[in-house]
Amino acid sequence: MRVSVFCSSAPNIPQTSLELAFNIGKAIGDQGWDLVWGGGKASMMGEVAKGARSTGAATIGVIPEGLKKVEFEDTDATNMHVVTNMRTRKAKIEDLAEAFIILPGGIGTLEEFFEIWVGRYLKFHHKPIAVCDPTGVYAPLQVAIDHLAAQNFMKAGQAELVSWCSDIPTTIEAIRIK
């Protein structure tokens, strides 16, 4: 199976987040699965790829030409797809991956998360989605989503399409295709 991980490329984030990224990459590889990710070696993006490679997993990157130097293209990737823009990147990642894990991140990570979540709700794909958040970074987001649901801005069945997990084993189990 090929698992996509969406996560931060920001500098100066907590060491615990970098360790989480490495460990989720390692957990993916320990399952005999491969990693699909944004192709960068900065921050959490780089750590998730290192973790996957530490187990011998293939790492399949997708990076826009314009970000090769900004996100520092990971030249150790098993395979790197260089694309023209972010929309093409997201579409290629969605095509390549069979499941999605969301780790802590900023607006780019959130954009990827929401796009893949909406795509699943609209039945453009049926791939599992799990948020791995052991430190509660996304707790305010969960409160906001619950508030939207309570105000009837979310449709029935939308919230159930995402597994919110507080540890790596639960996350791996949540995306396991049965």
Per-residue pLDDT, 71: 64
Per-residue pLDDT, 178: 64
Per-residue pLDDT, 166: 98
At 63 the three-state DSSP class reads strand
Rounded to a whole number of angstroms, the distance between the first and last alpha carbons of the chain is 12
For residue 10, the domain's CATH number is 3.40.50.450
CA 178 – CA 172 distance, rounded (Å): 12
Per-residue pLDDT, 121: 97
The residue with tokens 């906001």 is 144
Write down the pTM of the prediction: 0.96
Query: Strands, DSSP E only, in 56-125?
Result: 59-64, 79-83, 99-102
Per-residue pLDDT, 69: 73
Per-residue pLDDT, 177: 80
| More confident call, 92 vs 66 | 92
DSSP state for residue 65 in the 8-state scheme: G
Beta-carbon contacts of residue 175 (< 8 Å; ≥ 6 apart)? 3, 99, 100, 101, 128, 129, 130, 163
Which range of residues forms the domain containing residue 57? 2-175
What does the pLDDT look like over 38-86, one tens digit per residue?
999 999 999 999 999 999 999 999 999 988 877 689 999 999 999 999 9
- pLDDT over 70 at 172, yes or no: yes
What does the pLDDT look like over 104-157, one tens digit per residue?
999 999 999 999 999 999 999 999 999 999 999 999 999 999 999 999 999 999
Question: Structural domain tally of the chain?
Answer: 1
